[in-house]
């Protein structure tokens, strides 16, 4: 058993309810594993900050249904309690299937709940309703009989009188009220153009989590919730891909500017034999020593563009390493860092690594959605003709397009052409706006590490030849 926290729509307070539950469980010294439906990076950061354990993404578009089931089984069995935070509204998904009756809730919270056979707690924003709460709850409970609604959490309740009206309306449904959260003006998580502000930028986050934990002690019906949250150990230990005999050192950029990584991707690299060396393009003067590859995830380089620009030694080190052939993955924010410059929201230009002959310009238009991408050439990660599925989420655009793009892209759920995308020149670079989850495609990190080993081997041969030549001269 475990529990899914779902909303009747976006913005009803799923994340607040989830963090309140997690904080209360941790204060009870409970070992809890959290999961997040969808491709989100930032909500899992908050989960991990509270639980001390990496949150796992459950996304059948980026991976598969089988992978989700295995991922959930592998990680939930290692903890006492398990909790899944949903995405958008309970039944909000993407189109899927070629039949006339296509599934419209594929990759939704409901889809994941059915897939894992988990009960759902429905979070309802009660700030602008009273008696209508019963119609909402009844509709969600009856819409899909395969979904087990364990109860509701009433969020943003204004007063005792308001709560009394809500309870009276729900009573005929005999649907348990598992929690009541009042309007909490002192509990807010700041956000900006791509969602919540990441945890590393919130110095008062611990105080906020403490307030949530105190709130959770009184606002939930723990007698009913704890049995639902209890994790069920399963006899299916995680499987690890075979690793090479010699370790590969990978420099992973991780700081306030670059922090969008799927934990499963990092785990796979380590399972395949990589040693991950984390460093900061904001603070460090150089990349880690003796690495054979670099990985730049997404994040908010535009927010820290001035500091990135002022760290000239780090920018030069990255450019030099790439021009000497070091295999490098750069996703979204990482791609922006490899450009000649970033132009921020105020129109100010900041020099970046200068590997790619283009600039990243911030704007108001949001590019968002799942992508089906077909490789147009052999590149650092995949071969020509390979189809991968990823996700885009950014407010920047590039001033020029690559002459030899990596991918032809389309929307995931239809054949609508989204254009050509991705930079693969130099050939040792994979720079793309499309975020990839490697969980179902272990061949992607395998190919990356293979290229890293190849470059390292060539470097060793060159150094050996130079040493022999020196000895001969002597």
Catalytic center residues: 332
Specify whether the CB–CB gap between 423 and 353 falls below 8 A.
Answer: no
* Residue 9 DSSP one-character state: S
Of all helices (H) and strands (E), which one includes residue 126? none
Specify whether the CB–CB gap between 294 and 321 falls below 8 A.
Answer: yes
Q: How far is CA 317 from CA 183, 277, 288, 323, 332, in A?
A: 50, 16, 10, 10, 20
The token duo for 54 is 């990496």
Specify whether the CB–CB gap between 352 and 341 falls below 8 A.
Answer: yes
The burial of 289, by beta-carbon neighbours within 10 Å (0-12 exposed, 13-18 middle, 19 or more buried), is given as exposed
Specify whether the CB–CB gap between 414 and 95 falls below 8 A.
Answer: yes
> CA 202, CA 397: separation in Å to the nearest integer?
28
For 27, residues 6+ apart whose C-beta sits below 8 A from its C-beta are: 213, 216, 217
Specify whether the CB–CB gap between 405 and 204 falls below 8 A.
Answer: no
3-state helix/strand/coil string of 31-99: CEEEEEECCCCHHHHHHHHHHCCCCEEECCCCCCHHHHHHHHHHHHCCCCEEEEEEEEECCCCEEECCC
Specify whether the CB–CB gap between 154 and 181 falls below 8 A.
Answer: yes
Measured in whole angstroms, the distance separating CA 17 from the mean position of its chain's CA atoms is 19
Specify whether the CB–CB gap between 413 and 369 falls below 8 A.
Answer: no
* CA-wise closest residue to 264 among 56, 62, 75, 432: 56
Sign of CA dihedral 106, 107, 109, 111: positive
């Amino acid at each position: 058993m475990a529990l899914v926290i779902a909303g009747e729509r976006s913005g009803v307070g799923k994340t607040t309810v989830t963090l309140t539950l997690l904080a209360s469980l941790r204060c009870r010294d409970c070992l809890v594993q959290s999961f997040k439906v969808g491709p989100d990076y930032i909500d899992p950061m908050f989960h991990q900050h509270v639980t001390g354990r990496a949150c796992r993404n459950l996304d059948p578009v980026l991976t598969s249904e089988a992978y989700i089931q295995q991922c959930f089984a592998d990680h939930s069995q290692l903890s006492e309690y398990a909790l899944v935070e949903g995405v958008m509204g309970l039944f909000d998904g993407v189109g899927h299937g070629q039949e006339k009756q296509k599934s419209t809730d594929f990759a939704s919270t409901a889809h994941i709940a059915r897939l894992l056979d988990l009960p759902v707690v429905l979070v309802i924003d009660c700030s602008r309703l009273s008696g209508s709460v019963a119609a909402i709850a009844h509709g969600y409970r009856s819409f899909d009989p395969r979904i087990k609604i364990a109860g509701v959490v009433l969020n943003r309740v204004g007063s005792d009188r308001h709560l009394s009206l809500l309870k009276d309306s729900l009573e005929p449904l005999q649907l348990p009220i598992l929690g009541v959260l009042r309007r909490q003006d002192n509990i807010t998580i700041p956000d900006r153009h791509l969602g919540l502000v990441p945890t590393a930028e919130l110095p008062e986050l611990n105080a906020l989590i403490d307030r949530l934990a105190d709130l959770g002690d009184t606002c939930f019906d723990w007698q009913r919730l704890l049995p639902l949250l209890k994790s069920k150990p399963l006899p299916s230990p995680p499987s690890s891909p075979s690793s090479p005999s010699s370790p590969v050192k990978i420099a992973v950029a991780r700081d306030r500017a670059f922090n969008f990584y799927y934990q499963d991707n990092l785990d796979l690299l380590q399972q395949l034999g990589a040693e991950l060396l984390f460093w900061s393009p904001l603070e460090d003067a150089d990349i880690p020593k003796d690495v054979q590859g670099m990985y730049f995830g997404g994040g908010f380089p535009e927010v820290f563009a001035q500091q990135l620009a002022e760290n000239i030694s780090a920018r030069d080190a990255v450019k030099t390493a790439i021009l000497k052939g070091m295999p490098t993955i750069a996703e979204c924010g990482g791609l922006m860092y490899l450009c000649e410059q970033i132009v921020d929201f105020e129109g100010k230009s900041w020099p970046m690594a200068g590997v790619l002959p283009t600039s990243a310009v911030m704007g108001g238009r949001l590019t968002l959605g799942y992508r089906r991408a077909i490789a147009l050439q052999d590149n650092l990660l995949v071969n020509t003709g390979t189809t991968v599925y990823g996700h885009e989420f950014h407010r920047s655009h590039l001033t020029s397009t690559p002459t030899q793009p990596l991918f032809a892209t389309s929307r995931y759920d239809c054949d609508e052409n989204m254009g050509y995308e991705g930079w693969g020149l130099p050939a040792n670079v994979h720079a793309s706006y499309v975020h990839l989850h490697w969980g179902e495609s272990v061949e992607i990190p395998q190919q990356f590490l293979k290229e890293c080993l190849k470059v390292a081997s060539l470097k060793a041969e060159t150094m050996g030849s130079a040493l022999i030549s020196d000895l001969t001269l002597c």
